[in-house]
Amino acid sequence: MKALLLTAPSRLEMVDHPTPVPAADEVQLRIRACGICGSDIHGWDGSSGRRQVPLIMGHEAAGEISQVGAAVTDWAVGDRVTFDSTVYCGTCPACRRGAVNLCTDRRVVGVSPGTYRQHGAFAEYLTVPARILYRLPASLSFEQAAFAEPVSIAQHALTRADISPTDSAVVIGSGMIGLLVIQSLRAAGVSRIIAVDREATRLDHARALGATETVEVTTGDPVATIHDYTDGHGADVVFEVVGIEPTVKLAIAAARLGGKVVLVGNLAPEVTFPLQHAVTRELTILGSCGSAGEYPASLELIASGAIQVEPMISAVVPLADGAAWFAKLSTPEGGAHLKVILQP
């Protein structure tokens, strides 16, 4: 099969790669669409350390079943599906209580952090366990379905926050996941959604997709502006969707007394944390990692139009163009593109 292989930091090559054969509990998928994730860009250039070569990346994908393993009974060749980006065991204590994102033997599709290598979907074919499959609604295109994974991440962040329609919400970061959090909040009936970013064009996207107010951090005092928008109190819930020290500190400062901060972004492995502010204001700090059962709801939200993904697609291109697009997306100008989808 043809595959886009990461062979060195910032180097992708189209290669002939052995076609994977499904084990008894697996299916083989013919990949029809796979989105380039921001984490793929940080893996491609070597900065995250989670895409050690050689590796086929890609985890935001959809396709159709081309083979089924001998023990698979609930799926058939031709079924249109997507899959959880987390390969979970299904038997550990975390999996048994439904926290599959915290599986003790967790592996992520298209990731190679040094302890394992799990090839991904920037290829014509991929094998995955049947237990992580989800059937596509008939109305969804493969390109739309490739958004199920990032939408599920946004949905899980709302699950962690236990969001209420009466809550005021701040979303720090208007990249792909931030925009999906904004849309998820709107779909959940939240009436005050404040988007925060340093790029005016991203804030334009945020307002178009559901933000009621926007804050550009390079203009004025963002904390004061957020407090002005929330009657001087700060937000009930703040979603931090960047993962660097300045935005984490901003998230803590933007929350009201007794508010919640949901940490979704994780670019920096460590940050200096404003401990006294969090303690004395009695904030609830929540981490949010991946998703845990939100795929069906995510697919339905996309299919119904409650979450719009078409405006977020910047380009749909052949897999062979992937290397050039990675190089383009890694530049400062690349931030203007929200989602590029590769078609193997």
Q: What is the mean pLDDT of residues 287-315?
A: 97
- For residue 333, pLDDT beyond 90: no
Task: State whether 26 and 143 are in the same domain.
Answer: yes
For residue 332, name the pLDDT band (cuts at 50, 70, 90).
confident
pLDDT tens digits, 199-250: 999 999 999 999 999 999 999 999 999 999 999 999 999 999 999 999 999 9
Domain that holds residue 61: 2-147+309-343
Q: What is the percent of the chain with per-residue pLDDT over 90, rounded to a whole number?
A: 95
Distance between CA atoms of 11 and 5, rounded to whole angstroms? 8
pLDDT tens digits, 169-189: 999 999 999 999 999 999 999
CATH number at residue 323: 3.90.180.10
For residue 147, name the pLDDT band (cuts at 50, 70, 90).
very high
Edge-to-edge order in the sheet of strand 255-263: 213-216, 192-197, 168-172, 235-240, 255-263, 284-287
The backbone torsions φ and ψ at residue 99, rounded to the nearest 5 degrees and listed phi first, read -90, 65
Q: What is the mean pLDDT of residues 51-71?
A: 98
Task: State whether 143 and 158 are in the same domain.
Answer: no
Per the structure, the count of domains in the chain is: 2
Residue 298 lies inside a defined structural domain of this protein: no
> Coil, strand, or helix at residue 76?
coil
Average pLDDT, the chain: 96
Three-state SS string over 288-312 comes to: CCCCCCCHHHHHHHHHHCCCCCHHH
Residue 292 lies inside a defined structural domain of this protein: no
Task: State whether 207 and 240 are in the same domain.
Answer: yes
The backbone torsions φ and ψ at residue 114, rounded to the nearest 5 degrees and listed phi first, read 115, -30
C-beta of residue 298 within 8 angstroms of C-beta of residue 184: no
pLDDT tens digits, 110-129: 999 999 999 999 999 999 99
What is the reported pLDDT for 261?
98
Residue 123 lies inside a defined structural domain of this protein: yes
Q: What is the mean pLDDT of residues 50-73?
A: 97
For residue 275, name the pLDDT band (cuts at 50, 70, 90).
very high
Strands annotated E in the chain = 2-8, 11-16, 26-35, 55-56, 60-68, 80-83, 86-87, 107-108, 125-129, 133-135, 168-172, 192-197, 213-216, 235-240, 255-263, 284-287, 313-318, 339-343
Distance between CA atoms of 338 and 179, rounded to whole angstroms? 10
Task: State whether 120 and 169 are in the same domain.
Answer: no
CATH number at residue 206: 3.40.50.720
Residue 234 lies inside a defined structural domain of this protein: yes
For residue 267, name the pLDDT band (cuts at 50, 70, 90).
confident
What is the reported pLDDT for 119?
98
Task: State whether 27 and 127 are in the same domain.
Answer: yes
Task: State whether 172 and 231 are in the same domain.
Answer: yes
Task: State whether 169 and 277 are in the same domain.
Answer: yes
Residue 324 lies inside a defined structural domain of this protein: yes
- For residue 77, pLDDT beyond 90: yes
Residue 301 lies inside a defined structural domain of this protein: no
Task: State whether 49 and 167 are in the same domain.
Answer: no
Joined tokens for residue 318: 């052949």
Task: State whether 10 and 101 are in the same domain.
Answer: yes
Joined tokens for residue 191: 């009436």
Which of 179, 126, 130 lies closest to 19, judged by CA?
126
- For residue 47, pLDDT beyond 90: no
What is the reported pLDDT for 55?
98
Task: State whether 164 and 261 are in the same domain.
Answer: yes
Q: Which residue has the tokens 């996207």?
A: 205
Residue 304 lies inside a defined structural domain of this protein: no
Distance between CA atoms of 149 and 239, rounded to whole angstroms? 18
Task: State whether 22 and 90 are in the same domain.
Answer: yes
Residue 302 lies inside a defined structural domain of this protein: no
- For residue 268, pLDDT beyond 90: no
- For residue 45, pLDDT beyond 90: yes
Task: State whether 138 and 159 are in the same domain.
Answer: no
